[in-house]
Amino acid sequence: MDRKTVGAYNREARAFAREWDTQPVPSDMQELLRRYFASGPTADIGCGSGRDAAWLARNGFPVVGYDASAGLLAEARRLHPELRFETSALPELAGLANERVVNVLCETVIMHLPAAAIASSVARLLAILKPRGTLYLSWRVTEGADRRDEHGRLYAAFEPALVLDALVDADILFDEEAVSLSSGKVVRRVVARKRAAG
């Protein structure tokens, strides 16, 4: 992950947690998770302060949240002490074994990576899925050049082909660019199912 972005989340973790918890409910994302996720172990990659991990748990998906920011993980553990949260970051996702989970949620995370790390990160997200497992992946769309916001967070500008080409071993079930009902920002959402071996 981009170090300045992680630093911003560490410095302002509680403020970001409040912001995300007071946003409108991400019902558009939740509808897709209900439609495409299957029962079974689930990883929330870039879980932030745990909002979406808590929703997954309430809706019957045994979930572990992973994040690069110690500050956000502290908030997640404070707000959702009943859930498990661990440190891990794209593109390596150290500590996560291949073919470990049935579902992966990675909600608006990869735009905080340099463009050169996106393809390998998407491939790693697929690798931790069991065959026939499902990946929900979204990112904020940034036009033109990379930029940083007032907090110092990176928003990488990249072609969607970087993501789609990395999903060569998966079937695309859903692909849409739309305004998020929660953040009000333009996001691209992709749902992909990992193909069975052979």
Cα angle 111-101-136, degrees, rounded to a multiple of 5? 35
User: In 3D, which of 123, 90, 101 has the Cα closest to residue 42?
Assistant: 101
Q: Tell me, what CATH number does 174's domain have?
A: 3.40.50.150
Rounded Cα gap, residues 16 and 147, in angstroms: 19
Token pair in block for residue 191: 């749902």
Largest CA distance in the chain: 48
Domain count of the chain? 1
- What's the domain range around 177? 3-194
Per-residue pLDDT of the chain (198 residues; tens, 9 = 90+): 889 999 999 999 999 999 999 999 999 999 999 999 999 999 999 999 999 999 999 999 999 999 999 999 999 999 999 999 999 999 999 999 999 999 999 999 999 999 999 999 999 999 999 999 999 999 999 999 999 999 999 999 999 999 999 999 999 999 999 999 999 999 999 999 999 976
Rounded Cα gap, residues 162 and 45, in angstroms: 19
- Sorted by sequence, the CB contacts under 8 Å of residue 33 that are 6+ apart come out as 56, 59, 61, 103, 105, 136
